[in-house]
Structure 1
Amino acid sequence: MSEQLADERASAAPTPGQVGGRAVMLIPHRTSGVEKTTLPPDYQRILAAVRQAAGPVTARQVGDTLGIDVSVRSKLEPLRGKLVRLVDRGWLRKLPDGRFTTRL
């Protein structure tokens, strides 16, 4: 049974991309051995902005904190995509109302 679960987890894990002929994953999954310093600088800033907030935040609030012009949708949507990517990799948590918060 445990072998089957391990196989399912391995097949569900995202495959790394190719950069310069080498396999890399730009946004690693959060595990016990992975530090936030392994994230690209933009993602580190986003993570810091969410952590500094008093509670759950929207993408617009994170954009304001980072100095992004949030009145323009084309500037806000890439930020929202990065937030969702951090959620998918286990760095953040997305609440049902669409706000983002840190994982405990």
Structure 2
Amino acid sequence: MAQDAEPDVRALITARRAELEVQAEKLSQQLQEVRDELEELAVAERVTRRLAQQLRAEPEQKTPPAAGQVAGRGVFLVPQRERGVDEAVLPTDYQRIMDVVRRAEGPVMVKQVCGELGISLEPARSEALRSKLNRLAERGWLRKLADGTFTTTL
């Protein structure tokens, strides 16, 4: 009878060993997943710290928009006007145009702005200025009236 019991015990031990090996493999996978997540969190902490340092190091002033490139030529980006946004965000040329329109006693024509800014009235120059005035109007900085003149939006 002792011999008959021996194979049963061996079968039980083998089965239990297989169960434990499967469980050990699952636990090993879970442990690796936890380690991977811990590493991801450490990276996220480092990135967050660096971003916070950069934000603290940046001056708290609004800077003019960056110059862009269109067809190989430098152009300035004119932002949409929003409440609380100052004209200082506009490129210098646009700030000068805004100043001329603001100082005028009424709506201004393109040739008046050209004269105030010392820009030639030749078509290439005046049309370039007209484009800038239109861009300011499209973005909410100026108002273009039906007769083609411009005024401040205030």
- Note if 1:95 corresponds to 2:152: no
CA change 1:18–1:79 in 2 (3 A) is: closer
TM-score by length of 1: 0.74
Identity %: 52
- Note if 1:48 corresponds to 2:105: no
CA RMSD in angstroms, aligned pairs only? 1.9
In proportion to residue count, which structure has more helix? 2
Which stretch of structure 1 is more off in the superposition, 93-102 or 27-36?
27-36
- Note if 1:26 corresponds to 2:42: no
Cα separation, 2, equivalents of 1:19 and 1:66? 24
Gaps of 5+ in 1: 1-16
Gaps of 5+ in 2: 1-65, 70-75
Query: Which residue number in structure 2 is paired with residue 10 of structure 1?
Result: none
Letter aligned with residue 95 of structure 1:
L
- Note if 1:85 corresponds to 2:117: no
Cα separation, 2, equivalents of 1:51 and 1:18? 25
Query: How far apart are 1:33 and its partner, in Å?
Result: 2.8
CA change 1:63–1:19 in 2 (3 A) is: closer
How many residue pairs get aligned? The number is 83
Query: Which residue number in structure 1 is paired with residue 20 of structure 2?
Result: none
Query: How far apart are 1:19 and its partner, in Å?
Result: 4.2
CA change 1:34–1:60 in 2 (3 A) is: same
Query: Which residue number in structure 2 is paired with residue 12 of structure 1?
Result: none
Runs of 4 or more, structure 1, over 3 Å off, are: 17-20
